[in-house]
Amino acid sequence: MKIFSASQIYEADKYTVEKQGISSDELMERAAVQIFNWMHLRMQGAPVKIHLFCGIGNNGGDGIALARHLQEHGYNFEVFVVNYSDKRSKDFLLNLERLKDRKVWPTFLNSDSEFPEIGKDDIIVDAIFGIGLNRTPDTWVVNLMQYLNNTGTFILSVDIPSGLYVNTIPENPEGVVEADYVLSFQAPKLVFFLPQTGNYVKQWEILDIGLDAEYLTNTKTDYEFIGKNEVLPIYIPREKFSHKGTYGHSLIIGGSYGKVGAVILASKSCLYSGSGLVTAYVPKCGCLPLQTSLPEAMVLTDENEDILSGISYDMVPTVVGIGMGMEKKEATSKAFSDFLNKYKGNLVVDADALNLLSENKKLLKKLPARSILTPHPKELERLIGPWKDDFEKLEKTKKFSEQYDCVLVIKGAHTIVVYDGVGYVNSTGNPGMATAGSGDVLAGMITGLVAQGYEPLQASVFGVYLHGKAADIAIEKCGYQSLVATKIVEHFGEAFMSLLEVPEMPQPESVEEN
Ligand SMILES: NC(=O)C1=CN([C@@H]2O[C@H](COP(=O)(O)OP(=O)(O)OC[C@H]3O[C@@H](n4cnc5c(N)ncnc54)[C@H](OP(=O)(O)O)[C@@H]3O)[C@@H](O)[C@H]2O)[C@H](O)CC1
Ligand SMILES: [K+]
């Protein structure tokens, strides 16, 4: 699913209004009806008090139009206009008139107004600011937002939590509504997925307001949200007349005394994601544990007992995954540099190999084209330098990826794969994955997918999705705390199979648009 910028959404609006021959107010009406349907389906007429806080722009207009539908269906509600400016939008005013025609009189809140009483079990609809926010809200509006946040009442935000920008980070973290649920029109906003702003959005859902399909399809975006629909076309089914050679030979290079487990996890993950053959290259001390715990893998050993000191092998790998548990000893650093001088094939770089690249930036130029780098935030910072906020981090990552022609996997709650100027935001995964070895498993999985013929970008996007999906399936059985990396690998099979499941379609009740 594409993630549009604010200006693209405004353009889609304009295009839709022209092409469908409708007025902008009809688009607002679609938005309001969709929100009403969503609420009505869940509330079924329950007399819970609903407090609507509406700004004076089109986001506020959505809220005002929603109030009309709530009234028509006998809901218990009151409307507050957050009067932060005199520049009321045309469609806001139109809907305000329609509401007044029905004898509903909103309360206007200004800088000197007292805030209304709100019960814990009530519902707040937040339609104060939408995607049109373009400066820090006034102090009294920030105070109102804080007041709403502190009520502990369920907050339903229209389109975006008020106070969040679409393309930048809010200056004042207090001036943002903390939404329990966001109903976002047509497409999610990037800020829902970034570490600095994602916490304002507990849950979100997309409401289709029928923006022009041609515009949406043909417009190229800087970010995409990756769910099942996006990864299904990537999936390569197995062929009947195939053999293990068809699915590639992965070489996993890493390990040091006390950190052989990282290579075991990556190799196991690589096998479980479908690599035909896997060879692990480890210091001598790694041979026995690997052969014992993972009989499916072959093992090559370094001359050194405890660390990697020289990487030489007489096989031809389809792909190499390097760095897990490798440490950064001088001999290892030299071995890695020599390896990069010779190796020009598919490459996945993780953990200490990333740190070696950061310490010796000249090595970056030796990376084979379209290498995949899988840094966690600290490793990323060492590679690209510090950033002032999440947006700058993304821009710097894109630049780095272009400069060295590599795919960057920025690991996080919503891992983002960056390549060729586009960020692919993952939808799967959970906090249980913040556990030892989870990264080794991801690097192993991506390596295994490259071995099977997936292109580096596709392997990264697909691997990140499957890795998170496996963890999502696993926590259903073991909970967040007990999710260990091995459990993620053990659920790869179910993650692959979930791709082929057909979802049940919900049957929502709906009201007619008027
Ligand atoms: N296609 C869609 O998704 C549709 C979305 N709809 C809804 O429309 C809003 C966007 O509405 P818009 O009127 O553009 O913007 P807002 O409602 O967010 O803001 C209103 C105006 O407020 C001014 N502004 C901005 N920041 C501040 C501030 N800090 N303090 C005071 N005022 C501020 C700004 O105007 P200025 O001229 O003063 O700069 C805003 O324009 C979208 O989110 C959806 O909810 C449509 O209903 C249907 C189509
Ligand atoms: K809002």
Say if the ipTM goes beyond 0.90.
yes
Is 440 labelled a binding residue? yes
Distance, CA of 250 to CA of 253 (rounded, Å): 10
Is 58 labelled a binding residue? yes
Is 175 labelled a binding residue? no
Mean pLDDT, all residues of the chain? 96
**Per-residue pLDDT at 168:** 96
Token pair, residue 428, equals 């799967």
Is 68 labelled a binding residue? no
Residues 279/344/378/275 CA torsion (nearest 10 deg): -30
134 CA from centroid of ligand 2 (Å)? 13
**CB 231, CB 469: distance < 8 Å:** no
Closest ligand 1 atom to residue 89 Cα is 13
Is 262 labelled a binding residue? yes
Domains of the chain listed by start with CATH number? 2-219 (3.40.50.10260), 246-498 (3.40.1190.20)
Residue 184 phi, psi (nearest 5): -105, 140
**Per-residue pLDDT at 511:** 53
As to burial, measured by CB atoms within 10 angstroms (0-12 exposed, 13-18 middle, 19+ buried), residue 502 is exposed
Residue of the CA atom closest to atom 38 of ligand 1: 87
Ligand approaching nearest to the C-alpha of 177: 2
Closest ligand 1 atom to residue 84 Cα is 31
Backbone torsion region of residue 420, taken as left when φ is above 0, otherwise alpha when ψ lies between -120 and 50, otherwise beta: left
20 CA from centroid of ligand 2 (Å)? 26
- Alpha-carbon distances, residue 227 vs 119, 126, 233, 352, 505 (angstroms): 37, 27, 11, 30, 16
Distance, CA of 503 to CA of 500 (rounded, Å): 9
Q: Which of 83, 164, 172, 185 to mutate to test the pocket of ligand 1 (most atoms within 8 A of CB)?
A: 185
Q: At residue 149, what is the residue type?
A: N
231-265 pLDDT, tens digit per residue, is 999 999 988 887 877 899 999 999 999 999 999 99
**Per-residue pLDDT at 514:** 46
**Per-residue pLDDT at 211:** 96
- Residue 406's nearest CA partner among 377, 376, 383 is 383
Is 12 labelled a binding residue? no
491-502 pLDDT, tens digit per residue, is 999 999 999 988
10-32 pLDDT, tens digit per residue, is 999 999 999 999 999 999 999 99
Ligand approaching nearest to the C-alpha of 131: 1
pTM: 0.95
Closest ligand 1 atom to residue 127 Cα is 45
Between CA 167 and CA 461, with CA 183 as vertex, the angle to 5 degrees is 60
**Per-residue pLDDT at 245:** 79
Ligand approaching nearest to the C-alpha of 176: 2
Q: Which of 58, 177, 186 to mutate to test the pocket of ligand 1 (most atoms within 8 A of CB)?
A: 58
**Per-residue pLDDT at 508:** 59
**Per-residue pLDDT at 502:** 83
Q: Please state whether beta strands 77-82 and 249-253 pair in parallel, antiparallel, or not at all (unpaired).
A: unpaired
413-465 pLDDT, tens digit per residue, is 999 999 999 999 999 999 999 999 999 999 999 999 999 999 999 999 999 99
Average pLDDT over residues 49-75: 98
- Residue 269's nearest CA partner among 471, 431, 501, 429 is 471
| Cross-strand pairs, 371 | 406
131 CA from centroid of ligand 2 (Å)? 8
SS (H, E, C) 343-378: CCCEEEECHHHHHHHHHCHHHHHHCCCCEEECCCHH
Q: At 111, is the secondary structure helix, strand, or coil?
A: coil
Contacts with 58 (C-beta within 8 Å, 6 or more apart), sequence order: 28, 89, 91, 92, 130, 132
As to burial, measured by CB atoms within 10 angstroms (0-12 exposed, 13-18 middle, 19+ buried), residue 379 is buried
Q: Ligand 1: residues within 6 Å at CB?
A: 9, 13, 27-28, 31, 55, 57-62, 84-85, 87, 89, 129-137, 158-159, 185-186, 209, 211
Given a cut of 90, whether residue 68 has pLDDT beyond it is: yes
- Could you tell me what percent of the chain has a pLDDT over 90? 96
- Residue 431's nearest CA partner among 468, 461, 459, 396 is 468
395 CA from centroid of ligand 1 (Å)? 26
As to burial, measured by CB atoms within 10 angstroms (0-12 exposed, 13-18 middle, 19+ buried), residue 330 is exposed
Q: At 469, is the secondary structure helix, strand, or coil?
A: helix
At residue 361 the predicted structure's pLDDT band, cuts being 50, 70 and 90, is very high
Least confident of 181-185, 425-429, 497-501, 507-511: 507-511
157 CA from centroid of ligand 2 (Å)? 5
Residue of the CA atom closest to atom 48 of ligand 1: 28
Given a cut of 90, whether residue 507 has pLDDT beyond it is: no
Token pair, residue 104, equals 């509903």
256-300 pLDDT, tens digit per residue, is 999 999 999 999 999 999 999 999 999 999 999 999 999 999 999
Given a cut of 70, whether residue 98 has pLDDT beyond it is: yes
99 CA from centroid of ligand 1 (Å)? 20
SS (H, E, C) 138-180: CHHHHHHHHHHHHCCCEEEEECCCCCCCCCCCCCCCCCCCCEE
Given a cut of 70, whether residue 510 has pLDDT beyond it is: no
Contacts with 149 (C-beta within 8 Å, 6 or more apart), sequence order: 155, 177, 178
